[in-house]
Structure 1
Amino acid sequence: MVTDVQQAAMGMVLFPAGIFAFAATTLFHIYAVISSVGQFDQYKEKKMLWVAIAMFFSFGFAIYYFVPKSRMKGLVVLSFGLLGLVCYITGTMLLPAKEPKFDISPTLLEEVKLTKPDPDRYLQIQQEYQKRFDDMIAEQEKTRRSMQDALNTQNKQAVEDQKRLQQEFENQIRQLIDQKIANPSQPQ
């Protein structure tokens, strides 16, 4: 059993395949006509007129009758054309309809009644979203403050460490100066 999805998938493959076969038929027909036109030299002038008239009214398909070497090409064109036609028609039959088919009866229309929008409900929804937005902004502000507090704490710690290191450095310098004053002859 073929499901609707499989049927639609086959239609989606066959439809473009039919169009491709039509395009291939057209291109091969153009090739066949162009390659076979040079063989008209074998006909007399009066007969050429009828061939030209037949080709004019048959859109070039008469060439497959009048030029014997082109008959095999005509069969290829005919088979591609028929294949394209079959694929195109089958694809369009398998594809789902563009518009859904609804049975809208008067009783169904009476059951479904369109009402005016409720402004109170819209106001309530708007207030809910405003509250969510305000909560989100408050949460972001809280996160920003906690990050700022952490950064300030780190900055204070860094300043204190810098002051401590500076104090230690100054103490070491004073000790070296005191030692130099106490023992001027001692090398460093």
Structure 2
Amino acid sequence: MRLALLLLCAAVALAGCSVFPVSEASQTHDNTTSASPAPTTPTTTSLTLPPRPRELPLDKVNPCTILTKQQRTQLSLDTTPTPYTDTELKARACTIRGTYSGQVARLALVTNEGAELWISDEAQNTAKVISVIGFPALEVRTPNLDTLCNVEVDVAQGEFLDVLFRDGGSATPIPQDDLCLGAQRVAEAAMNSLSTGH
């Protein structure tokens, strides 16, 4: 049950789930709606992550400085990065919004559990294995939540980079396939920064 709640809250952290303190929530997002609960039947089974090329620990990383200003511009994320603590994932996190694009990205640095969390028997989502600059990763879609997409990058033993990309209220709804591509672009930019230690 804990995992089900964790996964749902992590997936909708920027879409209304109460993982922010109230003051941060009011500053970080608006016009949010409650998400429907995920189905109780697991939809992801028998996936495994390939080996990672090397360890890339996150314990000393600031989530709000991973993406450079140039990267944020290229990704159409132009607001000042806002730090907070994701209480469900127990992770330091940062959210960035695109004023004109209507897109929102969230990066969370999870250092207490591995990315396998998202493909465990209890996971209530649809995932597929992808690669982000050579690191194993998962593209995760949560049933009934088609306004967001997650990419989970396996960076070290018991650690992963969680990237959430969502439609923050654009004039024309963004298809989920495009949101997943956006999540991958953000993950790639983040991993390029982490790999070079900018």
TM-score (norm 2): 0.19
Which structure is higher in RCO with an 8 Å CA cutoff and minimum separation 6?
1
Larger-Rg structure = 1
Which TM-score applies when normalising by structure 1? 0.19
